[in-house]
Amino acid sequence: MVTRTRIKICGLKTAAAVSVCKEAGADAVGFVFYAPSPRYVEPAHAQQLCQALGPWQTPVALFVNPAPEQVHAVLACMPNALLQFHGDESPRFCASFARPYLKAIRMQAGTDLHEQARQYASAQGLLVDSWSEAYGGSGQAFDWLLLPKPGSLPLALILSGGLHPENLQEAISNCQPYGVDVSSGVESSKGVKCETKIRAFCRAVQQADAAL
């Protein structure tokens, strides 16, 4: 039984933002290795940013349909990273790096998360996000009624898409996810993290947990 909602802040590019995530209580921080994204970072820069992490914080490396060589290059800089695949990667591909990974699922009517959990049984969890033609998330919430009954999936469920401090209590109460993931919801402009919003987001998760 989940007793605390884990927090992941994604798309970090500066040491200051990483430090705020540590101070605010984020469990994981995500680095984007998808060149079209405004949040893209080079592996060597991400390696430097990881130095600002706390000892029990998890770095997450986000990819979209990468070549195997790209994943290996990132792992050479971040050997303890949790991988996150946000494209059309097959279960075999995701598992081929012998590293823990999350598989992102873009939700729409008819998406069967139980089937996705069966296909990606080797994953640490499924990260559910709103449907978008583009990869990497849209920053918009999806209909949470598309999700199965809390606790019914065999994999951890990480909720993403359009989350912000004002809707976190409803999201956590209704969906009871293992964790929540945010990127644009804690930004002052696209790709630019806001320290005040990061703190507010983490505080809202903690308050939502306390209210359950």
* Catalytic positions, written as ranges: 10, 129
| Burial (CB count <10 Å: 0-12, 13-18, 19+), residue 159 | buried
Residue 136 one-letter amino acid: G
Contact 78, 45 (CB under 8 A): no
**Tokens found for residue 62:** 């986000």
Nearest to 88 by CA among 101, 104, 107, 73: 104
Residue ranges of alpha helices (H) inside the chain are 15-24, 43-49, 68-77, 91-95, 113-119, 168-175, 195-211
